[in-house]
Amino acid sequence: MPWRRLLRRHHRPRSTGRHGYGTYIQSMTVGTCTAVFWSLTMLGLIGIRTLFLQLGGPSWPVPLGQRDSTTASLNAANSDIPTPDYNLDQLIAAFNKHQLSPRDMTALSGAHTIGYSQCLNFRDHIYNGTNIDPVFATLRKRTCPAQAPNGDTNLAPFDVQTALVFDIAYYSNLVTKRGLLNSDQELFNGGSQDALVSQYATNPALFATDFVAAIIKMSNLSPPPGIPTEIRRNCRVVNS
């Protein structure tokens, strides 16, 4: 999921420098504040807001005085992270655990209008998936060989139309069965989120409103139980 992913990227920068995208990602993960997954930190918020703005996305006010973890604990956060093989019910349940509604989940997934995924995360979907446009599957297979671990780390854009623009193409891709991850396409697979996906696909203002509402909700979440928290005086350092 996103924040872990962003952090990981900071530690292991990838060669997507052609658009300067890697630079944005790195700038949002400097310091310790981005280490907790479910609680967006101030730095993370500012960073991702800047990123989305640069890429044409909506903006939102950054809340101050957030609760953050006292440790950079990835393990506790990791156990909670949805994986690309999740079906719709599993995705809804995973977000529900954090008081995020199905609507929040569908809106937040729109973050996949920017960025890339490694082949190992979408291989099964493009080779075995049934809810996928065959032309799109063929395109993605070209750089994602069937046999693991061949090409495991090869990248493909989430958004086949506009990889680095924060727009609603993610949703129109889903409507035309061109979701990259299984978990993306699950949002439009004959289930409860189909209607909303169709709305977002044609209504950028609605998507922007819902996305911002959901990301603010997510940013106000407490870190997972068991992780000691504090309200940081300085986002970059644990209080002494």
One-letter amino acid identity for 15? S
Choose the binding region for ligand NAG from 124-132, 182-190, 197-205, 224-232 (rule: CB under 6 A): 124-132
Under rule CB under 6 A, residue 115 binds ligand HEM: yes
Which positions from 146 to 185 touch ligand NAG by CB under 6 A, shown as an x/- string?
x---------------------------------------
Nearest to 219 by CA among 53, 1, 43: 43
The residue type at 230: E
Q: Which stretch binds ligand HEM (CB under 6 A): 29-37, 104-112, 139-147, 199-207?
A: 104-112
Q: Rounded to whole angstroms, how far apart are CA atoms 93 and 150?
A: 33
Site string for ligand HEM, 167-206 (x = CB under 6 A): --------------x-x-----------------------
Cβ-based nearer residue to ligand NAG, 60 or 127: 127
How many Å apart are CA 26 and CA 81, to the nearest integer? 21
Which DSSP helix (H) or strand (E) runs through 230?
strand 229-231
Of positions 37, 38, 52, 116, contacts ligand HEM by CB under 6 A: 116
Chain residues 56-85 in contact with ligand HEM, contact rule CB under 6 A: 82-84
Chain centre distance of CA 136: 21
Q: Does 112 interact with ligand HEM (rule: CB under 6 A)?
A: yes
Closest of 86, 83, 84, 82 to residue 95, by C-alpha: 82
User: Residue 131 and residue 137: Cα distance in Å, rounded?
Assistant: 10
Strand-pair category, 155-157 with 116-118: antiparallel
With tokens 């063929």, the residue in question is: 138
Strand blocks (E) in 173-213: none
Residue 128 touches which member of ligand HEM, ligand NAG, none, C-beta under 5-8 Å by kind = ligand NAG
Does 114 interact with ligand HEM (rule: CB under 6 A)? yes
CA angle 187, 16, 219 (to 5 degrees): 50
83 is in an annotated binding site: no
| Residues 3-42, interacting with ligand HEM (CB under 6 A) | 5, 9, 25
Which helix (H) or strand (E) segment holds residue 213: the answer is helix 204-219
Under rule CB under 6 A, residue 109 binds ligand HEM: yes
112 annotated among ligand-binding-site residues: yes
Binding site, by residue number, is 82, 112-113, 159, 162, 167
Residues that bind ligand HEM (CB under 6 A): 1-2, 5, 9, 25, 82-84, 86, 91, 108-109, 111-112, 114-118, 121, 181, 183
